[in-house]
Every structure is written in C-alpha cells, then in structure tokens.
C-alpha cells in the first residue's frame, strides 16, 4: 500500500472558506460567530445607506456592479496562485503546489488506469460558454440608454468592446456620457439591476451543451462552472436552464478569487483534480491564456470571437455538438499523461578539454 496515498480530505484547507478542526474549543467558535455577526451587520448598514435592500439586492436580485461589469485580470502569469488562510496561518497556493499536492494516490492510479476518463476535470466559463450572456449584457446597456435618453453606437466593434470592458470604461470612453461620479455609481447599479432582471428570464443554455454534459456525466468526469456572479443567482440560473445537476463545483463571487486563473485553480481544488489534468472551455482569448498559465488544456468555443483570435487554444469548435469524450483523450495523447507536470532540466556538463603535454605529442 502506498503510504503517500492522498485523498481530497487532505486538501480541505485549500478551500476559500474557513475550516475548523475538532480541536477548536466551543468558546473560540462562539467568539468567531459573534465577530462574524457584527461584521455582517456592519455590512448591512453600509449597504442600506447606499440604497440596497437588507439582502444586498434591488427588488430581490443581488446586485454587485463592481464584479459584474468589469474586466478581470488574467492571472498566474508566472505560475502564482492565491493565498488562503488556515488556523495555523496563511498558505500560498500556486500552480506547482496544486500539481504536486493533487497527485493521484495509489488506489486512484489503479482506478484511472482502468477508467482513464475519470482522471480529467472539466471547467466551464459561465459567460457565453454555458449561457449566452453577451446578449443579456448588450440588452442591459441598450435598456439603460433608453431610460436615460442616450444612444448606443451602432458600430459592431464598439458594441463588442462594451461586452468585455469595465462599466467605467464604457461610460467614459465608449459612450462618452457626461456624468459626475455619483451619477456613474447610480448608472452602474441600475445596469446591474437590468442585467439580473434579464438573467431571470434565461431559460436555455448554449446549443449542444446539455448533450455534451450528459455524455461526460456518463463517463463520470467531474465538471465545474466559474463565474463572477454571486452564488445565489448562479445556482438559480443553472436550475432554470436545467444544468445544475451536471456540475459538482461552482466558483462564484463569494470565493473571492482575484483573477480568471485563480478561479480556474479554485475549480481544480473543488474537483480534486490537479490543474494539469483539467480542461477549460472558454470563448475568450484571455481565458485561454489563463488556462495555459495554470497548465490546463483549453477548448475554445467559436462565436463571440472569430477562430483566428482563438488560435492559441488546444482545440477550437463551433459548438458542443462537435465534441465527444474521445476528444479529451486526444488532448493529452500526443505528449503523454504527465507532459504538463514539472520537469527537472538536466544540463549535461561538457568534458574538460585535454591539455597537450610533451607526453601526448611524443
């Protein structure tokens, strides 16, 4: 038996939430709960003074304009990860750390040898991969412009920038609406409210996605979805489009990840798969770069961006109908199952030059 056998329980401390060991006394837990309650009450006072409801929402929909309409950093450019906290202090989690700690144990290696598909982990971006949120965002901008008596530029390039740039950039640089800072905050809050109203009407996922998820579910491949939405609206949206049952992990705004790559790494932890065995499904070149920074494979969905913008992806498809489970095996087949793992570079030393002496000449 392998004494280094690892299970997912050894990685619970990598989660974004706090985990307490049984050794923590009940008094400490009561103290922590008391501080937590005071912190939540303080947040509610701040939100109420800004016009939010007690549940941080407008009309029952959670509104987080600073997270929803913004351009996230790619992240992990040099393999760096995120920092999480444990009872014994902070822990820095990076790509190499996860690839090492999430190595399969003895029993899992035997299982994956018989069922290799189960070794993979699939990570789906929410925006324009699971659901057509680009249309929702553009409609939100158009409705906001109609309410404010403004106009949206008809050029396709300008409208495309509106989907990926931050709300501040769109208001000041693209739409050029002359507004003071207090008005900008009001417009961003209203924009988010309109978006969540439109999101509540979403009933259909991307074409072919449900059939693809059903196929990978049959192969027992775990899946995760990542988004900047808050968890409540994320779960509700997945239930409305009938896909919640297919996802074993959900990465939402509450996980506190600061970049796209950090969301992918958090998904790998929740799936209990090392990053080098994960496949990311993205439609954005920035997301593809983030996946590669995490040593993950990337499958690009052509649509929001043309195929020539997605050339760095390991595989590009027009829809999920073009995929089969065998495609996942081929992604890793060319270079073996461990080609993304860390490797030690062996530098061969050149032999020392032989000095000529009188003995060697004669």
Tell me, what's the pLDDT at 334? Answer: 65
Domain ranges, ordered by start, for the chain: 84-131+205-331, 133-200
Tell me, what's the pLDDT at 22? Answer: 43
pLDDT digits (tens, 9 = 90+) for 173-212: 888 887 788 888 899 899 999 999 999 999 999 999 999 9
First to last CA, the chain: 64
Confidence of residue 340 (pLDDT cuts 50, 70, 90): very low
Any idea which architecture 84-131+205-331 has in CATH?
A: 3-Layer(aba) Sandwich (3.40)
Tell me, what's the pLDDT at 41? Answer: 41
Which of the pair, 36 or 205, is modelled with greater confidence? 205
| Mean per-residue pLDDT, 214-231 | 94
Token digits for 311? 């050339």
Tell me, what's the pLDDT at 313? Answer: 94
CA distance 16 to 257: 9
pLDDT digits (tens, 9 = 90+) for 85-131: 667 767 777 898 899 988 888 888 898 889 989 999 999 999 999 99
CB-based contacts of 141: which residues, under 8 Å, 6+ apart? Answer: 152, 162, 170, 191
Place of tokens 């999101």: 199
Long-range contacts of 284-291, Cβ-Cβ distance < 8 Å, separation of 24 or more: 284/125, 284/127, 284/128, 284/164, 285/309, 285/310, 285/312, 286/74, 286/260, 287/125, 287/260, 288/312, 288/313, 289/74, 290/74, 290/75, 290/76, 290/259, 290/260, 290/261, 290/264, 291/123, 291/261, 291/264
CA distance 43 to 172: 29
Beta pairing, strands 315-317 & 249-251: unpaired
Q: Calculate the dihedral angle through the C-alpha atoms of 329, 331, 336, 338, rounding to the nearest 10 degrees.
A: -100
Confidence of residue 337 (pLDDT cuts 50, 70, 90): very low
Return the closest-CA partner of residue 208 out of 132, 144, 110, 155: 132
Tell me, what's the pLDDT at 210? Answer: 95
pLDDT digits (tens, 9 = 90+) for 302-330: 988 999 999 999 999 999 999 998 888 88
């Amino acid at each position: 038996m392998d004494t280094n056998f690892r299970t997912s329980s050894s990685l619970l401390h990598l989660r974004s939430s706090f985990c307490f060991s049984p050794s923590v006394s009940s008094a400490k837990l009561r103290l922590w709960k008391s501080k937590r309650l005071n912190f939540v009450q303080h947040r509610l006072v701040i939100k109420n003074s800004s016009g939010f409801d007690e549940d941080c929402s407008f009309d029952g929909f959670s509104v987080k304009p600073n997270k929803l309409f913004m351009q996230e950093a790619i992240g992990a450019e040099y393999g760096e990860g995120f920092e999480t906290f444990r009872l014994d202090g902070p822990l820095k989690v990076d790509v190499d750390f996860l690839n090492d700690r999430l190595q399969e144990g003895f029993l899992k290696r035997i299982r994956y040898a018989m069922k290799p598909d189960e070794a993979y982990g699939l990570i789906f971006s929410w925006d324009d991969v699971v659901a057509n949120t680009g249309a929702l965002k553009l409609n939100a901008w158009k409705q906001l412009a109609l309410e404010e008596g403004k106009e949206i530029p008809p050029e396709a390039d300008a409208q495309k920038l509106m989907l990926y740039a931050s709300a501040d950039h769109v208001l000041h640089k693209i739409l050029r609406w002359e507004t003071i800072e207090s008005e900008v905050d009001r417009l961003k809050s209203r924009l988010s409210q309109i978006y969540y109203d439109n999101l509540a009407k979403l009933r259909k996922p991307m074409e072919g996605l449900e059939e693809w998820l059903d196929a990978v579910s049959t192969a027992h491949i775990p899946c995760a979805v990542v988004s900047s939405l808050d968890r409540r609206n994320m779960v509700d949206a997945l239930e409305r489009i009938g896909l919640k049952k297919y996802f074993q992990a959900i990465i939402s705004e509450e996980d506190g990840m600061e970049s796209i790559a950090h969301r992918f790494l958090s998904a790998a932890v929740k799936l209990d798969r090392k990053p080098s065995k994960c496949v990311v499904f993205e439609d954005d070149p920035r997301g593809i770069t983030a996946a590669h920074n995490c040593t993950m494979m990337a499958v690009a969905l052509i649509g929001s961006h043309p195929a020539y913008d997605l050339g760095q992806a390991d595989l590009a498809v027009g829809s999920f109908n073009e995929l089969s489970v065998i495609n996942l095996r081929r992604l890793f087949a060319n270079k073996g199952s461990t080609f993304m793992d860390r490797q030690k570079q062996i530098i061969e030393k050149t032999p020392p030059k032989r000095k000529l002496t009188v003995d060697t000449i004669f």
